[in-house]
Structure formats: C-alpha cells, structure tokens
Amino acid sequence: MPPLEEVSSTYRLNKSLVKGLELLTEMNRSANASGTISDLAKKTGQHRTTVKRLLETLKQAGYVEHDIATNIYKLTFRVQQLSYGYRDTTLVTEVAWPHMRNFSQKMIWPCSLVAPEGDEMVVRVSTRPYSRLSFHPGMPGRRLPMLTTAAGRAYIAHTSDAARETIMQMLASHPETNEPMARDPRFIKALVKQTRARGYASNFGEWAEEPKFGGYAVPICNANGEAMVSLNVIFLTSAMKEAGAKEALLEALSETARQIEVDYTENVARVS
C-alpha cells in the first residue's frame, strides 16, 4: 500500500477512519486481540485521548468490548464479519494482475485467472481487452466446465483429494452437464497423473462451445501446494503449429505463475 500522502484523490483523507483501522490492526496482532489504552497508544503512536475516543466509537459499533475491571479493550466476533466477503482468490487476483498484463504484452495472447465455484470454473479477471489476439471481448464472470477446459483440468489435478472427490460427485449427479468423464475414475486418475507430470493442462477443442480454440493452464498454489486458482492462456489451435510456439507459450505461462505465487506468499506473510 502506498504512503497515504501519495494517494491521489479528489476527496479529503478521513484520518480518523485510518487511525481506527490502524487500531483494529494493532489489536488483532496483540495477545488475546486486546490491549489497554496506554499500550495501544504506545504501539500505534497515537495520542491516548485519540485512542480512547476511537475505542469507545468501536465499542458502540460492536467491534470492541470493554472490561471495566481491568480497563482492557478486546475485539469482538463482529470483527470477523469484515472478512466474510474476502477469499484467497481476492488477494491472488490483485497480485496476479500486473503479471498477467506483462504476459499478454509479451506473448500477445490473452490470459485469464480462473477460480473454482461449485462444480464449475469462473473467470475472475482477464487480459482479453488488452490483447490484439483476443476473440472474446467480455470474459470476467464467464463460467467454464471443469473437465473439458485447461483451466478446470489444471485446478482438478492440483486440488486436494477431498475437494476433487466432492467436485466429481457433484458433476456425476448432473448428467445434463455433459461431463460423463466425471463418472469414470480411470479417466480422472489418468488426467491428474498426466497433468502433474507435465506441469500444465491443455485443451484443444474439447470444449464444445469453443471448438476452434485451445488453451494451456497452470495452477496457482498456496503454501501447502494446493491450487487456489488456474492461470490460462487461450489461442487459436491453428496458431500452435509453428515450431517452438507451444514451448515459448508454456515457458512464459509457467514463469508468470511462479512470479504470482512468490508475490502472493510475500503478501500473505506481510499481513499475517
């Protein structure tokens, strides 16, 4: 986050709000998510009177409770509500975007960050508007099948065994999804083994909606090595016949994923 004085805005900075957030952050770092006015004033560098006023405001809002006997303020469970809409994919998306732009500027083809949602994959963000070789202008929010797209295959191969089994059960219970492979354990086992061995997943026209297009995808994994999202690149299958085209695209895609994972890990460490 850039220094507050460097943030450009047509609105005046609400310093009280910023100080209140700093106070919540410091309390969250403290033992038992609590602290006295003196301790919090010392740790945040704020005046005792300011800390007292902010704590009483947070108390009235339900985010802090006060023990009169010990004079200690403590965070309440309501603070957890602030993160209910936040997922790992939110941070990954923020971290990935500049790397994705660089990829498409270099390789021309568009790439997308695709996240699991139930038994489907959903495009979170895409460089299609910035790619000269994009044939689909509107992509964010588009739903993709799990087993006939590169993005879905990359995720399935690198998610946990429990998650994979659950997704397969969901797919198998809906014949209208036209994914009979979900009911074929031998196919799933072979898909996982091959994708992990190669380090990427592919699709060359298997998705009925896009028969002329192909894709490569790699997982973006957390510290436990489990996929959070997939990073894919879409192209015309006829364009991959040139010698070296496939290798160059896969190398750039894998390197981009690696950079995203490194930045993601650093961001997680910074806020934890």
pLDDT digits (tens, 9 = 90+) for 128-172: 877 777 666 556 788 899 999 999 999 999 999 999 999 988 888
Q: What is the pLDDT of residues 25-48, one digit of tens each?
A: 888 877 678 899 999 999 999 999
pLDDT reported for residue 271: 66
Q: pLDDT, tens digit, for every residue of 77-102?
A: 788 666 555 556 788 888 999 999 99
CA distance 191 to 147: 9
Antiparallel, parallel or unpaired: β 34-35 and 72-75: antiparallel
Residue 47 phi, psi dihedral angles, 5° rounding: -70, 145
pLDDT band at residue 1, thresholds of 50, 70 and 90?
very low
Of 99, 91, 108, nearest to 272 (Cα)?
Answer: 91
pLDDT in tens, 180-193: 788 888 999 999 99
Can you give the residue ranges of every domain in the chain? 4-83, 88-271
181 Cβ contact list (under 8 Å, min separation 6) = 147, 187, 188, 191
Per-residue pLDDT of 97-131, as tens digits, reads 999 999 999 998 999 999 998 889 999 989 887 77
For residues 17 and 254, what is the distance between their CA atoms, to the nearest angstrom? Answer: 41
pLDDT at 64: 92
Which position has the token pair 């460490």? 269
Instruction: Report CA 266 to chain centroid distance, whole Å.
Output: 14
pLDDT number for residue 56 = 93
Q: Is 259 buried (19+), middle (13-18) or exposed (0-12) by CB count in 10 A?
A: middle
Q: Is residue 55 predicted with pLDDT exceeding 50?
A: yes
Separation between Cα atoms, residue 209 and residue 142, nearest integer Å: 12
Instruction: Judge: domain 4-83, CATH 3.30.2310.20.
Output: no
| Range from 46-50, 135-139, 234-238, 241-245 carrying the lowest mean pLDDT | 135-139
Closest CA to 201 of 87, 84, 121: 121
Residue 31: the pLDDT is 67
Q: Put residue 178 in one of left, alpha, beta given phi > 0 → left and psi -120 to 50 → alpha.
A: left
Which of 8-12, 35-39, 251-255 has the lowest average pLDDT?
Answer: 8-12
As beta bridge partners, residue 227 has 221
Say which CATH architecture domain 88-271 belongs to.
2-Layer Sandwich (3.30)
Q: Tell the residue number behind the tokens 């805005």, with chain if given.
A: 9
Per DSSP, the chain holds a count of helices (H) and strands (E) of: 8, 9
Share of the chain above pLDDT 70, in %: 88
